[in-house]
Amino acid sequence: MQKIIPFLWFDGKAKDAMNFYTSIFKNSKLINLKRYGESGPGMEGNVMSVTFQLDGQEFIALNGGPQFKFTPAISFFVNCNTQDEVDELWEKLSTDGEAQGPGWVKDKYGVSWQIVPSILDEMLNDPDPVKSQRVMKAMLQMSKLDISKLKNAYYGN
């Protein structure tokens, strides 16, 4: 069992969100689905919670009601090895959602994701401050991150 598990609070959409996320990320699956019983607090038979994995990372989603909403203060950071992976995840997660800033997207359930090429960390932490600042400046002009444009900035092209 994973020691730390993200726990997501939904207003009746936990199973829908889980189905959406597991359709997007590889190596993903439903682990457990629990329904409310006669003692509630939800309507008997309705989905109470789902436990699932996204690329091996375990999550729990609860149908807790409308009391709490997601904010970008908490997001999921996804390292991507290729532009194709960035493009695919961005497209799927932004469907009926919205871009929030460089590399950030809010999905249709209100959950924020950072879709980031793995190489970005290396470029931003380059010991040459001129290179890293060019990359930062280029990144701040983007919504979806573009590896070729980041590399062009890094190399001064």
Report the SS3 class of residue 44.
coil
Domain 1-68 falls in which CATH fold? 3.30.720
Helix 147-155 × helix 83-94 angle, to 10°: 130
List the structure tokens of 25: 């990320």
CATH number of 70-157: 3.10.180.10
pLDDT, tens only, 8-62: 999 999 999 999 999 999 999 999 999 999 998 989 999 999 999 999 999 999 9
User: Residues with Cβ < 8 Å from 16, sequence gap 6 or more?
Assistant: 109
pLDDT score at 58: 98
pTM of the model: 0.93
Spell out the domain ranges in the chain: 1-68, 70-157
Query: What mean pLDDT do residues 5-10 have?
Result: 98
**Helix-, strand-, coil-residue percentages of the chain, each rounded to 5:** 30, 30, 40
pLDDT at residue number 108: 98
